[in-house]
Structure 1
Amino acid sequence: MTTSSASRRLDHEVLELLRGTLSDVAQHTIAAVREEVPAYGEGLGDQLAATIEQAVQMALAGFLRVASSTTDPGTPLTPTLEGAYALGRGEARAGRSADALLSAYRVGARVSWRELSATAVAAGVPAQAVASFAELVFAYIDELSAASVAGHTDELETSGRVRQRYLDQVAAGLLRGESPESLAPDVERADWKPPRTLTAVLLPEAQVRPVLGLVPSGALVPSEHGLPEEGLAAVLVPDMEGRSRTRLLRVLTDRHAVVGPARPWPEVRASFDRAVRALPLRRTASTVDTDQNLPALVVNADPEALADLRAVALAPLADVRPSTAEKLEATLRSWLLHQGRREDVAADLFVHPQTVRYRMNQLRELYGDRLEDPDTVLALTLALA
């Protein structure tokens, strides 16, 4: 069925009669949509309802222009399609789904056809012409709804990209240590609700998408993170304290991740920095929980300082044979950790208690009274940790 064949069956008088009903048809269409489609119910508001009613009138007027054409334009008029596209974008911005929009079109098509066909029949239009008219109406509605869905999709994709750009700026600003006040504009534009805390998680890039599907919404993924290793990414996960942290660690099992401490969201840089310092603790695919590795992090915070400390604290062993020095170091470490309990030291080293006694006598000869000095004990504890 072409537009020209339909128009030959709708004479000028009938078309003028149909034009005269557009305002009423538009009002009845809006009323039906508000009643039958929950997303367009009472919360729609009078101003927006009037805007949509005007759009319906424009669409119907566009249809009648098509119906009165003496040629076959193939598609509805471009301005009407552009209006439908703009309507779709507006509905996406308003937070209504494409399903709601299509439901509104279905209801609108039914009501519009019922009233327009009643007018055409009353005007004496033959049955065959009314059937052709129906085909034209629904083909027109299909094209309008397709244009609106395209607008809805494009708006979501565009707004999604824009929002992601602002989220990236928030994440980058947090890792630069910017204040909440300086981040506020991007936070607002990204429509991001700051959580109580953020926890920095470092993990392979290939694990980011699977993990994002398992953690709460609102997680940030900095696009620029300055990690010291290629192939690593950072995820800033919201509100992961207490039991939530336990669940996070479970989610990250065998993902070769490092989890920083939970920190108030403006201070997530501290969580990120600690996770970076803990990267050398990764030995297997298991996740490293920095909260469970605080002694190692403290001791290894300054590798050069630790090397200097070891050199000073273990200087008395410098002239001892390497194999003997290694055994004495192990014995001294265990002695310090077990607070001098010989039986516990022996069990720890799998040696006889008399062996422990012999080695400790050697150490006392090398260190003298310094093994009783608290500062020396502290230095040795750190050096041998």
Structure 2
Amino acid sequence: MTSSPPPVPPELSPGRAFALDRGLVDLLRGKLPEVAEHTIAAVMDEVPAYDDAFGGPMGGTIEQAVQMALAGFLRLASQGRTIDPGTPLSPALEGAYALGRGEARSGRSADALLSAYRVGARVAWRELAATAVANDVPADTVAAFAELVFAYIDELSAASVAGHADELETSGRVRQRYLDRLAAGLLRGDAADELAGAAARADWRPPKTLTAVLLPEAQVRPVLGLVDAARTLQVGEDAPGLPSGLSVLLVPDLGGRSRARLMRILDGRAAVAGPSRAWLEVRTSYRRALRALHLRTGQASLDTEEHLPTLVLGADPEALADLRAQALAPLAGLKPAAADKLSSTLRAWLLHQGRRDEAAGALFVHPQTVRYRMGQLRELYGDRLDDPEMVLALTLALGAPPEDGAERVKEESG
């Protein structure tokens, strides 16, 4: 990172050296306050970013920089073209560098700053040249004077751009550290007052909601380019329980149609999107996305909102296993193949609310086959198949779909 303005070049531009007459320099110096005033007015009028800048905290700094730049130029013009770092130009470059840093802190872009320099150079040259011509300065000297003006402005512009870039790099790193801490704290579930303070230190305006998105590290930059990157938080290895190779994005305000747009952005990126939650509660969105990771297939992305039953049933695998064992106890004495056929039939019958034809269609068997198997199940369960508590237990026990189409293969082979 550059810590000071770039070195002053030995010459501002090629061409013969010259020096303005001392009397003319004194005359021009007397007009500097007026020229500075007109320069500032033109910048405010022609560069929208500076419309109210001179009334803000940077106003004094900018006015001082304009005065310093004009004075530095006249010193240069009175001494000749050739200079070195020990000449009076150095303070002007240092002032331009400081101006660039201050403008970055104020949130104005380098483009706005360069536009201000262009406008300022035009106005200053017009007024200074008018004075020179009125005092019968020879045409070749006026031409050399013009070269010096714009070469000088180029040097000031370069110094300011360097200051602007250095400030962004420094403040950007500091702010990013604050943002990283905030994001990690959100996933840890830190206290609300701590999170609010962290958001303020990071200069991050909290959205109404955040959505946790888990995705491969290689997909982070492409996705950031398609969402509200300025307010999206990112967490990598600091995310609790996150598998290696994945990152977390906390994307702001994704409800309704915005969520559909997010899923289009994530299409084919092997991502998992948790639910939208109030920003202080985004930890719950992250936890759900973590639980849904195993549901991904290939590079397809997954919206947890579309898999809620499966996620509920898989929330406590041990409890689900115990429930299955209890609910399917009447089938325990059968051969595995027979038990599989009856359990798949019972599942289809429950999910289709006893509609035999629809259950048969789901199983790819004849409706009479369903009728026959349900007769066997009633012999095993008796009146309990009409008991709401048993129906609930069986629905939960058999609610999760079979993996990889195993049920269909069994039905078609048996």
Q: TM over 0.5, yes or no?
A: yes
The normalised TM-score by structure 1 is 0.89
The alpha-carbon distance between structure 1 residues 7 and 124, as it changes in their structure 2 partners (threshold 3 A), is: farther
Report the 3-state secondary structure (helix = DSSP H, G, I; strand = E; otherwise coil) of the residue aligned with 1:260: strand
The alpha-carbon distance between structure 1 residues 314 and 323, as it changes in their structure 2 partners (threshold 3 A), is: same
CA RMSD in angstroms, aligned pairs only: 2.8
- Pick which of 75-84 and 365-374 moved more: 365-374
The alpha-carbon distance between structure 1 residues 2 and 370, as it changes in their structure 2 partners (threshold 3 A), is: closer
- Counterpart in 2 of 1:318? 332
TM-aligned CA deviation for residue 276 of structure 1: 0.9
The alpha-carbon distance between structure 1 residues 198 and 17, as it changes in their structure 2 partners (threshold 3 A), is: same
Please give the alpha-carbon distance, in whole angstroms, between the structure 1 residues aligned to 2:262 and 2:173: 28
Name which of 177, 181, 201 aligns with 1:169: 181
Name which of 210, 216, 219 aligns with 2:232: 219
Tell me if 1:133 matches 2:149: no
Q: Provide, for residues 266-289 of structure 1, a one-character-per-residue CA deviation record: whole Å limited to 9, x for no partner.
A: 111111111111111112433222
Kindly indicate whether the alpha-carbon contact (under 8 Å) linking 1:30 and 1:49 is maintained by their aligned counterparts in 2.
no
- Counterpart in 1 of 2:50? 40
Name which of 99, 103, 122 aligns with 1:91: 103
Please give the alpha-carbon distance, in whole angstroms, between the structure 1 residues aligned to 2:111 and 2:126: 23
- Pick which of 7-16 and 275-284 moved more: 7-16
Name which of 299, 305, 312 aligns with 2:319: 305
Q: Given residue 235 of structure 2, which amino acid in structure 1 is its aligned partner?
A: P
TM-aligned CA deviation for residue 345 of structure 1: 2.8
Report the 3-state secondary structure (helix = DSSP H, G, I; strand = E; otherwise coil) of the residue aligned with 1:237: strand
Tell me if 1:327 matches 2:341: yes
Tell me if 1:29 matches 2:39: yes
Report the 3-state secondary structure (helix = DSSP H, G, I; strand = E; otherwise coil) of the residue aligned with 2:234: coil
- Counterpart in 2 of 1:66? 76
Please give the alpha-carbon distance, in whole angstroms, between the structure 1 residues aligned to 2:56 and 2:369: 92
Name which of 230, 233, 256 aligns with 1:242: 256
- Counterpart in 1 of 2:113? 101
- Pick which of 8-17 and 18-27 moved more: 8-17
Report the 3-state secondary structure (helix = DSSP H, G, I; strand = E; otherwise coil) of the residue aligned with 1:202: strand
Report the 3-state secondary structure (helix = DSSP H, G, I; strand = E; otherwise coil) of the residue aligned with 1:286: coil
The alpha-carbon distance between structure 1 residues 250 and 97, as it changes in their structure 2 partners (threshold 3 A), is: same
Q: Provide, for residues 92-148 of structure 1, a one-character-per-residue CA deviation record: whole Å limited to 9, x for no partner.
A: 222322222222212222222233334444555443333323322221111001111
TM-aligned CA deviation for residue 353 of structure 1: 3.4
Please give the alpha-carbon distance, in whole angstroms, between the structure 1 residues aligned to 2:140 and 2:352: 101
Name which of 275, 296, 303 aligns with 1:282: 296
Kindly indicate whether the alpha-carbon contact (under 8 Å) linking 1:33 and 1:40 is maintained by their aligned counterparts in 2.
yes
> Which blocks of at least 5 consecutive residues in structure 2 are unaligned?
1-9, 400-414
Report the 3-state secondary structure (helix = DSSP H, G, I; strand = E; otherwise coil) of the residue aligned with 1:256: coil
Identity of aligned residues (%): 67
TM-aligned CA deviation for residue 6 of structure 1: 7.0
TM-aligned CA deviation for residue 88 of structure 1: 1.2
> Which blocks of at least 5 consecutive residues in structure 1 are unaligned?
none
Q: Provide, for residues 300-331 of structure 1, a one-character-per-residue CA deviation record: whole Å limited to 9, x for no partner.
A: 11112222222232233233211111111111
Report the 3-state secondary structure (helix = DSSP H, G, I; strand = E; otherwise coil) of the residue aligned with 2:235: coil
1:339-350 matches, within 5 Å, as: 339-350=353-364
Name which of 370, 386, 392 aligns with 1:356: 370
- Counterpart in 2 of 1:15? 25
The alpha-carbon distance between structure 1 residues 28 and 244, as it changes in their structure 2 partners (threshold 3 A), is: closer
TM-aligned CA deviation for residue 210 of structure 1: 2.1
TM-aligned CA deviation for residue 160 of structure 1: 2.8
TM-aligned CA deviation for residue 71 of structure 1: 8.8
TM-aligned CA deviation for residue 173 of structure 1: 1.4
Tell me if 1:111 matches 2:123: yes
Q: Given residue 220 of structure 1, which amino acid in structure 2 is its aligned partner?
A: L
- Counterpart in 2 of 1:78? 90
Please give the alpha-carbon distance, in whole angstroms, between the structure 1 residues aligned to 2:248 and 2:54: 41
TM-aligned CA deviation for residue 297 of structure 1: 0.7
TM-aligned CA deviation for residue 48 of structure 1: 4.7
Tell me if 1:381 matches 2:391: no
Tell me if 1:52 matches 2:66: no
Report the 3-state secondary structure (helix = DSSP H, G, I; strand = E; otherwise coil) of the residue aligned with 2:377: helix
TM-aligned CA deviation for residue 225 of structure 1: 1.8
- Give the total of aligned pairs: 385
Kindly indicate whether the alpha-carbon contact (under 8 Å) linking 1:6 and 1:67 is maintained by their aligned counterparts in 2.
no
The alpha-carbon distance between structure 1 residues 27 and 295, as it changes in their structure 2 partners (threshold 3 A), is: same
